[in-house]
A and B are shown apart, each in its own frame.
Chain A
């Protein structure tokens, strides 16, 4: 670095320390606004990514039943017709629904234990006990929140009254761990037969059908899925949802919610820009004399702009970094208080799980950009206006 540029850098850094009030005001305001933005974007990215992870294992097509435009059970006899469609690999009947424990809702999901989609001996995220097996009936694996709510542990017996006022008894085989709580905290898993009996679903019907297509070249995947989906939608009383539709819906869900927060953030940013501009103007009166003096000593307009540019960039980088770090702290350590409710819904009871988070490069760069650019704008523009004035006039004006 040339001697000239080193001096300009040194001068710019000195300015940050000299105008202490302005520095502190800008740093505090920008840290708060970028911290709020970073919190939202880190939580939103975490939720979207968690959803995408689920989609990775999701069926290519979900077939739901519809009667009079309302959701209904799907007839399982259509599986024979679907199986004949080109590109279909396998179809799984799924039975699931909701149940109450006191005034708390839980999800009850039936699992196809005969010829399952994946090996039942795989490693499941269990805290204690074991997973379901085809040999055992009236057995359940429960989520962490359900276990905590009931005080249940492996080996205990649960008696649940269903909607049809029948008592169903199950033994607790396993309890899911807290790491996987985001997908199973409020879940009770049992065999499909047990779930059918619990919900009193007649034979020949299922909650939905999961259709898996054959593996093809990724370039042909969308064509194949759309073809199968179109063929299935020709069948009566069905509604077809593809993986892509679910992905878009998830992205929109969390995107729309974080969009609401982004608007709030923009308002905060505008206030920060106004504060920064105000501070620059106030200090600008003082610095007007300084700029005049610098110009009289031989500094060019571009030198003065460069000084302010370095000053604003360093301030913006420090504030942006502090904001991102505080955002990470808010999500990772504090588990996103307030934000979690806003992003997920204002519920009276939540299963306890860690708020998912993801720190993406584009989010980091975006936070820096929207932190540094306004400071540069509100700092450089006034100094450029001052620097274009004749030094003598500038110094006299500042003294006046």
Chain B
């Protein structure tokens, strides 16, 4: 490999990294500039990382839960009629079909 090729390779890789940074920043700036009526309407949606049973939850979320009690999607304070992490089935509590009059 020639020395020039090595320099070009290093420069190209650095350029790809900084181009990725520029693209990511532009995408975020666009998102931050655009209005988001859904988030505004709900108030404070947590990230929808749902279905976290307490035994499996990221310890970081415990901190969030302790600090805030709960936010929609935080799954901090909920009572289930079973233990979801042992594959408990709570039966067909939801059905899809016609409205029953």
In the complex, A152 has a CB within 8 A of chain B = yes
In the complex, A3 has a CB within 8 A of chain B = no
| A10 x B3 contact (CB < 8 A) | yes
Nearest A residue to B70 via CB reads A71
In the complex, A122 has a CB within 8 A of chain B = yes
| B80 x A345 contact (CB < 8 A) | no
**Interface flags, B6-29, vs A, CB<8A=1, else 0:** 110110011011101101110010
CB neighbours of A218 from chain B (8 A): none
In the bound assembly, the distance between CA atoms of A51 and B28 in angstroms comes to 13
Q: How large is the interface on B (under 10, 10 to 19, 20 to 34, 35 or more residues)?
A: 35 or more
Segment 43-72 of B: residues with Cβ below 8 Å from A: 43-53, 56-61, 63-64, 67-72
In the bound assembly, the distance between CA atoms of A14 and B4 in angstroms comes to 11
CB neighbours of B56 from chain A (8 A): 345-348
With A107-B48, A182-B48: A250-B64 Cβ-Cβ less than 8 Å:
yes
With A314-B10, A345-B61, A359-B20: A54-B45 Cβ-Cβ less than 8 Å:
yes
CB neighbours of A156 from chain B (8 A): 96-97
B57 CB to closest chain A CB, in angstroms?
A: 5
**Interface flags, A155-177, vs B, CB<8A=1, else 0:** 01111110000010101000010
| B13 x A350 contact (CB < 8 A) | no
| B58 x A343 contact (CB < 8 A) | yes
Binds B, one of A112-120, A286-294, A375-383: A112-120
| A183 x B35 contact (CB < 8 A) | no
| B97 x A157 contact (CB < 8 A) | yes
With A10-B3, A100-B81, A157-B98: A183-B48 Cβ-Cβ less than 8 Å:
yes
Nearest B residue to A149 via CB reads B94
- Count A-B pairs with CB separation below 8 Å: 260
In the bound assembly, the distance between CA atoms of A161 and B81 in angstroms comes to 12
Out of B17, B87, B90, which one reaches A321, CB within 8 Å? B17
Out of B13, B57, B96, which one reaches A317, CB within 8 Å? B13
Binds B, one of A75-83, A184-192, A222-230, A263-271: A184-192
CB neighbours of A353 from chain B (8 A): 48
CB neighbours of B47 from chain A (8 A): 47, 50-51, 54, 182-183, 344, 356
| A187 x B100 contact (CB < 8 A) | no
Out of B21, B44, B88, B93, which one reaches A361, CB within 8 Å? B21
| A317 x B32 contact (CB < 8 A) | no
With A105-B80, A253-B61, A314-B10: A53-B36 Cβ-Cβ less than 8 Å:
yes
In the complex, A201 has a CB within 8 A of chain B = no
Q: Taking each of B9, B10, B38, B77, which has the highest tally of chain A beta carbons within 10 Å of its own beta carbon?
A: B38
| B3 x A13 contact (CB < 8 A) | yes
| B42 x A109 contact (CB < 8 A) | yes
| A104 x B84 contact (CB < 8 A) | yes
| B58 x A257 contact (CB < 8 A) | yes
| A107 x B96 contact (CB < 8 A) | no
In the bound assembly, the distance between CA atoms of A186 and B46 in angstroms comes to 11
In the complex, A123 has a CB within 8 A of chain B = yes
In the bound assembly, the distance between CA atoms of A64 and B69 in angstroms comes to 9
**Interface flags, A94-128, vs B, CB<8A=1, else 0:** 10111011111111010100001111001111000
CB neighbours of A358 from chain B (8 A): 24, 28
B29 CB to closest chain A CB, in angstroms?
A: 11
| B53 x A184 contact (CB < 8 A) | no
Q: Taking each of B78, B82, B89, which has the highest tally of chain A beta carbons within 10 Å of its own beta carbon?
A: B78
| A117 x B41 contact (CB < 8 A) | yes
In the bound assembly, the distance between CA atoms of A257 and B39 in angstroms comes to 25
In the bound assembly, the distance between CA atoms of A151 and B48 in angstroms comes to 19
CB neighbours of B49 from chain A (8 A): 344-345, 347, 350-351
In the bound assembly, the distance between CA atoms of A123 and B100 in angstroms comes to 32
CB neighbours of A103 from chain B (8 A): 82, 84, 87-90
A122 CB to closest chain B CB, in angstroms?
A: 4
With A254-B60, A344-B58, A359-B21: A118-B10 Cβ-Cβ less than 8 Å:
no
20 A–B contact pairs at CB < 8 A?
A: A16-B6, A56-B36, A64-B69, A103-B84, A107-B72, A117-B43, A118-B40, A119-B37, A151-B96, A158-B96, A180-B38, A186-B48, A249-B64, A256-B60, A257-B58, A321-B13, A345-B61, A348-B53, A348-B85, A359-B25
